[in-house]
Amino acid sequence: MDNLSPREAAPSLPWYREITAEQWRIMFGAWGVWTLDAIDFLAITFVLADIGKTFDVPLSTISLLLLATFGVRWAGGLLFGALSDRIGRKIPLLIVLVWFTACAALTGLSWSFASVVVFRLLLGFGMAPGFSLGVAMIAESWPEKHRAFGIGVLDTGWGVGSIGAAIIYGLVYPHFGWRGMFFVGVIPAILLGLFIIYCVPEPPMWQKARARREATQRGSNPIIALFRDYPARVGFLALLMLVLFFGQWPFQGLFPTYLKSLSFSTATITWLTMTSAVGQIAGFFCSGMIAERLGRRNGLILMIVLGALGVCILVAVVDNFMLAELAAFFSGFMLVGSSGIWGTILAENLPGHVRASGVGFLYNIGVIGGGLAPFVVLSSLKAFDIGMNIGISIFIVVAAVLGIILLRFTLETKGLSLQAVEETAVEETKTA
């Protein structure tokens, strides 16, 4: 007995028992905010035509509400992130929850199209940090070896929210119309807010980052510090996010439209898109495990390659329902699910005193690439006289190749402590 090794004397626990109750509460609070964020944003995609009829506005004009909401997210991510880097993660998370819930409810009370535009712009500004704040909280609280998995689980909130929005549409819209869609999140938001207030702690890693900042007096303004001290890192990661987002949205934004162009039934379109959404949730969940096993770069490259291949197969076999179902799940799992690793890469490439600011800015700058992708693809169809299936496939493959090239120059952070991130960042500022 005396000769037992430490490993034999203290066998390792199952991974889920290595996560403390406090860390699980942080996860649940952040995940809940991201899920409600998704529901409040996506609800409008089901009722664009109804809003247009109510205010006598063409559908083409109404569709610009989505681009407008995307277009202001970078500012909200940056400013709320800076607030979080200065005062902590918990209070800004609560502010964001109240902000986008109130803006969604105000959308339901809109009295004119102009008021809808204002409330959706405000919602976009407030919803932006929903994911980035959660990324920072999990990165700074979960064990190093489970950090990527935790951030991947956080990202499942978006997939669950998309399904939730579809369910709400089916249950609420027939009885309460389009306005009723925007009030469903109020009571869940109140309950979640109370949970965050009383049960979610401030990540201890942020406390240490604040102490270091106060001791060195560097980066008193996180926004200034982000761009002043790490311009090369910010520029590179911004380009990476733009390419990665662009590579997903020809599929996410145009797949339902492509199916409609083939005159598929509503039921078929619903099944294929819902299958893709289920695949996304599974992909988000598993992406962290893939990143932990293969590394951040190699795991993401593998999922991008397989996801691009899956979409090419999907648009080729879409007439065969069973094969299309399998390809839709696989494409959602690999291509869209790969974004579960993005937050890990961002969080692990930024020092603590600018982490929330950087993730909030960079993630939401990438969203602009996603918003441009459908427009670029559709504009190219007439210019080059190609079908939508070919256009979707070409742009996804091109973006995948560019993404792989950029990822080869990205710092591999598997097994790297956040303290090591701080040290490499300090060296970068010295040599800049």
**Residue 71 maps to which CATH number?**
1.20.1250.20
165 and 272 both lie in a single domain: no
Higher pLDDT, 218 or 380: 380
238 and 334 both lie in a single domain: yes
The top-scoring range by mean pLDDT among 19-33, 216-230, 375-389 is 19-33
Is position 5 within any domain? no
Q: What percent of the chain has pLDDT over 90?
A: 34
237 and 306 both lie in a single domain: yes
Residue 65: pLDDT above 80? no
The top-scoring range by mean pLDDT among 69-78, 126-135, 171-180, 233-242 is 233-242
Is position 216 within any domain? no
Place of tokens 């930024």: 350
User: If pLDDT is split at 50, 70 and 90, which confidence band does 4 have?
Assistant: very low
242 and 361 both lie in a single domain: yes
Total structural domains in the chain? 2
264 and 413 both lie in a single domain: yes
Residue 95: pLDDT above 80? yes
User: If pLDDT is split at 50, 70 and 90, which confidence band does 8 have?
Assistant: very low
The top-scoring range by mean pLDDT among 55-69, 120-134, 273-287, 300-314 is 300-314
172 and 270 both lie in a single domain: no
Query: Buried (b) or exposed (e) across 78-89, using 16+ Cβ within 10 A?
Result: bbbbbbbbbebb
- Tell me the residue range of the domain where 25 lies: 20-204
Give the tens place of pLDDT for each residue, 315-330.
Answer: 999 999 999 999 999 9
190 and 295 both lie in a single domain: no
- pLDDT, position 206: 64
Give the tens place of pLDDT for each residue, 133-192.
Answer: 888 888 888 887 788 888 888 988 888 887 888 788 778 888 888 899 899 999 999 999
Is position 373 within any domain? yes
User: If pLDDT is split at 50, 70 and 90, which confidence band does 290 have?
Assistant: very high
- Asked if 159 contacts 277 with a C-beta cutoff of 8 angstroms, the reply is yes
- pLDDT, position 2: 46
- pLDDT, position 79: 83
Residue 10: pLDDT above 50? no
Higher pLDDT, 338 or 66: 338
